[in-house]
Chains A and B, each alone.
Chain A
Amino acid sequence: MHKLLNDSPGEKIMLLGNEAIARGAIEAGVAFATTYPGTPSSEISLNLFQMSQESDFYFEYSTNEKVALEVAAAAANSGLRTFCMMKHVGLNVAADPLMTLAYVGVTGGMVILTADDPAMFSSQNEQDNRYYAKFGNLPMLEPSSVPEAKEMIKYAFDLSEQLSQPVLLRTTTRINHSNAFVTFGDMKPMETKGKFIREPSRCVTVPAVARQLHAKLLGKMDKAKGLSEISDLNPIEGSGKFGIIVNGVSFYYAKDAVKDLGIEGNTKVLRLGFSNPMPEKLIKDFVKDCEKVLVIEEGEPFMEEAVKAFAQEAGVMIPISGKSEALFSRLSEYDPAMVREKIAVFFGINYTPKTKLDTADVPEIPMRPPNLCSGCSHRATFYEVKQAGKDMDIICPTDIGCYTLGFLPPLNMGDFVICMGSSVSTSCGFGKATDQKVVSFIGDSTFFHSGITGLVNAVFNNHNFTLVILENDITAMTGHQPHPGVDMERFGLDGFGRVNIEDLVRTLGVKHVSIVKPFKVKKSIEIIREALEYKGVSVIISQEPCALYAKSLKLLKPRAFKVSDKCVDHRDCINTIACPSFYLEDGKVKIDADTCVGCAVCAQICPENAITPLKK
């Protein structure tokens, strides 16, 4: 049985934040869960996907976050406890249903999790999704630790049912990807079959209805504010004239700092865990008897601006600060020493930090940038497109996935990326705005997510570009989740449909569609060349399973290659495809037999045919 399904209240176990959240959902009796994977949220859904196979609740990987939220909205309006999770930028995709679902509300508890990524460990921006709570009028909860995240999601379901309103649970990477001891609680029984009761005056958002709903929504938020005022999730610790208002992981950095600086006797800390609506009266009372207040929050001055406004209304004229040159930044994430230093600066505490080492005499250490894996089919496709178009002035819009790494030298195949699916639609724009040849890249999962509508646009508006769909049969970047083009029997699951990308592309009206097998280099270059010369929209589908995934399924049995004596050191292999299995030894190119999977792309481009299978 899955370790998170153990009905063993009181059991203490070390869990990743994302595992704790998944367990919390189970303890809350979640009946319905939907997602599109995205770091740092992916392990929540991965665990729910695994558990759903041995439990009664419904789970699905939806094609994108908008779809996931709409599927979930229906379940939550059929009375089911519903959980929809995504990374922060995923909520942009789901923003359309989010804003109006807030008007409609829910009949079963609904929690929407947004996993924000301050410092952008694996994201294209570090937007602060707390503003979605304010923007959409959603109650919001923010945990400060892993064990609290598990408890908080349970309360989030209760709160949602109390208000008939979806609740936003906002985490950051340092919650999702931290480990801590968690104690299992009781598991609430799941009610997995719902009933939808027709209620057009609430559920059909024509203007006349929506006007009523907006007013009702504001009423619900007033009620939520009352709950926030008295919530245990907004505790005040300590007492004194120094005030600190803090959220999320920074709470513990501040707590450690207050202790390290020895100011426990004159400092009080308000932690906001129920942070939308903000507890206005609680905050006004808090600032009233402070000399100074410091607001500590990663990201934007979400709390700071509200606290300042409350203080103004309360006629409190003390210094209140947070984001400033001398204090906290709106960039990146915080850390304990930085929070300690800023608290010392703001409250005028003498403090000498630990002396950092002088590293002036440390030699330069070579960088270790991420790289496409050995035997990755994307590398082969990039090389072939580059060869096929070498006499053309090419722009390469790319997309979000492992293949974004193709922008690095020596491949240099990636010129523009802003969000999921943008490769296709930006190709439309580049094709019309310039005379340059446009060749764009998109993965199969990303194509299903949001590439299809761009391609429909391209066909309708008669655009001119070549789209390369990298079909590697899996969502690779986030840890091998399925997508609509995947054969689910590989996961040992039946009862799933499957969408064929080639059929889909032809049905959309693309006239020039070709298939390449990227490990056949010469043939692929010929086919790609023909597609590049086509005037209009051409699509190339490059089919080869993800090497890591194929290895894990034992579909791929690595057969290493070696560099033979015929090598005369052209180094075309290293200089053009740069597979990480190459290394230099005594000035000669060698192949690491432990990592080479035998894709043989290098063997096909070596002008001396010097790369051959390593015979056992």
Chain B
Amino acid sequence: METTRLIIVAVGGQGNLLASKVLGEAALISDVPIRMSEIHGMAQRGGVVESAIVFGDATSSIISDGEADILLGFEPSETLRALSRCNKGTKVITNTATLPPFTVSIGKGVYPEVENIKELLKAKCASLVAIDAMKLAKEAGSPMSVNIVLLGALVQSGSLGFTKENVIEAIKRRTKKSFLDKNLKAFELGFEAAQNYK
């Protein structure tokens, strides 16, 4: 099976690791080989959290700079920072809702314009899907579902080799029962938004 390398970047607390676990479960259901690597510890105190997920036959569990086939960014400036992981064939999916770093919040740094971020990503990579996942998560009933909205967009546009139904089953198995309805709605909204993105 062909290898697909996915990098997910997020800010601590955005639920990146849960999204990775859902993808892992979906891969298990779909019988797709997968290896994932994540960064814990000090990095979690408000820093960047990164997951690397390798689908298919390659045996390594991390992804080198320039070698991501898909980049999923939970926060636009972090998506841009992760450009070093991409090449001109990389598909990029990003949230457009910003979480400015504290340095910016207190006026000690300038946050790039989101439109500029989108233009750069589009110009340098193979394709771009940019959606306001926070808005859609709120529409689904919980700002906590940003991760699942983005998962929907990823599954629609990422060609990961498993079906939407299997990802929905994985969401059912891996996320909290009390959040299930909101998460399923969030997933659909993300999927649709990616489908309709121009």
Contact = CB atoms under 8 A, between A and B. Distances in A.
A178 interface: yes
Nearest to B52: A178
Interface in A359-403: 359, 361-373, 402
Given A252-B60, A370-B42, A370-B46, A363 B88 contact: no
Given A354-B87, A584-B107, A39 B67 contact: no
B106 A584 contact: yes
A14 B80 CA distance: 30
B43 A583 contact: no
Contacts of B100: 366, 583
Contacts of B103: 366-369
B177 interface: no
Contact of B37 (A13, A177, A372): A177
Given A357-B88, A405-B45, A39 B102 contact: no
For A13, A39, A338, A368, the residue with the greatest tally of chain B CB atoms inside 10 Å of its CB is: A368
Given A354-B87, A355-B66, A363-B116, A179 B36 contact: yes
A306 B83 CA distance: 41
A14 B47 contact: no
Contacts of A39: 40-42
B61 A371 contact: no
Contacts of B167: none
Interface residues of A, number: 54
For B45, B83, B120, the residue with the greatest tally of chain A CB atoms inside 10 Å of its CB is: B45
B169 interface: no
Given A179-B38, A353-B66, A371 B84 contact: no
A408 to B, nearest CB: 11
B11 interface: yes
A166 B152 CA distance: 49
Contacts of A338: 64
A174 B62 contact: yes
B67 A121 contact: no
Interface stretch (A53-61, A489-497, A574-582): A574-582
A178 B66 contact: no
Contacts of A131: none
B72 interface: no
B86 interface: yes
Given A355-B66, A361-B120, A362-B83, A369 B47 contact: yes
Contact of A336 (B63, B102, B107, B120): B63
Nearest to B25: A14
A368 B60 contact: no
A600 to B, nearest CB: 19
Contacts of A534: none
B60 A256 contact: yes
A354 B66 contact: yes
A147 to B, nearest CB: 10
A367 B101 contact: yes
Contacts of B107: 574, 584
Interface string B50-87: 00000000111111111100000000011011011011
A336 B67 contact: yes
B24 interface: yes
A347 interface: no
B124 interface: yes
Contact of B34 (A180, A337, A353, A367): A180
A582 B104 CA distance: 11
Contacts of A335: 60, 62-65
Contacts of A356: 65-66, 84, 87
A362 B64 contact: no
A323 interface: no
Contacts of A372: 45
B20 A177 contact: no
Contacts of A121: 39-43
B87 A355 contact: yes
A416 interface: no
Contact of B46 (A253, A365, A368): A368
For B35, B36, B41, the residue with the greatest tally of chain A CB atoms inside 10 Å of its CB is: B41
B61 A357 contact: no
B48 interface: yes
Contact of A582 (B27, B42, B86, B105): B105
A277 interface: no
A40 interface: yes
Given A368-B46, A583-B105, A337 B64 contact: yes
B18 interface: no
B96 to A, nearest CB: 16
Contacts of A358: 124
B47 A370 contact: yes
A178 B36 contact: yes
Contact of B61 (A249, A366, A582): A249
B21 interface: yes
A181 interface: yes
A398 to B, nearest CB: 15
Nearest to A580: B102
A511 interface: no
Nearest to B106: A574
Given A14-B21, A580-B102, A177 B86 contact: no
A122 interface: yes
A366 B106 CA distance: 12
Given A121-B41, A122-B41, A337 B67 contact: yes
A535 interface: no
A368 to B, nearest CB: 4
27 contacts: A40-B40, A121-B41, A145-B61, A174-B62, A178-B35, A178-B61, A179-B24, A180-B36, A180-B61, A181-B33, A335-B63, A336-B63, A337-B66, A354-B67, A355-B88, A357-B84, A357-B88, A357-B125, A365-B81, A365-B112, A367-B103, A369-B46, A369-B47, A370-B44, A370-B47, A478-B41, A580-B46
The 7 tightest CB contacts between A and B, nearest first, are A122-B41, A337-B64, A366-B109, A583-B105, A370-B45, A39-B41, A356-B66
Given A252-B60, A354-B67, A356-B66, 19 more contacts: A14-B21, A145-B59, A177-B38, A178-B35, A178-B61, A179-B37, A181-B33, A249-B61, A335-B60, A336-B67, A363-B110, A367-B103, A368-B46, A368-B102, A369-B101, A369-B103, A373-B46, A477-B42, A584-B106
